[in-house]
Amino acid sequence: MRDALIGFSAGEGTDFSRTCVSLSGLSRGDLEALTERLLADNAALKPAVADRRAEVAALKGVPGRPAIRPGGMGPKTEPQAGEQR
């Protein structure tokens, strides 16, 4: 039987309580609801973690993460007159 610690929730000043639940005892609907909640909690924590990393970098006096723009294909080039490919 497999147990999992669940019950984490995101937010400022949140109490991260843990509840031990047997995953094998949950119905499919309960598992789907749990998965959705955990994914939402994870998505809510990602910006907070990024903010903390930036704050630590600023306190250390090191530059933060570089602003990387999405790449893409460069402008199309045409062959010069008389050139063959």
- Give a yes or no: residue 76 inside a domain: no
Beta pairing partners, 19: 6
Spatial distance between the Cα atoms of 49 and 47, rounded to a whole number of angstroms: 5
Residues 6+ away with beta carbon under 8 Å from 34: 6, 26
What does the pLDDT average to over 34-58?
A: 92
* Global confidence as pTM: 0.49
Helices (H), the chain: 28-60
Residues 6+ away with beta carbon under 8 Å from 17: 7, 8
Number of domains in the chain: 1
- Give a yes or no: residue 43 inside a domain: yes
Residue pLDDT, tens place only, 58-78: 899 887 677 777 776 666 677
- Give a yes or no: residue 29 inside a domain: yes
Residue pLDDT, tens place only, 12-29: 445 555 667 788 888 999
Domain of residue 44 covers 3-60
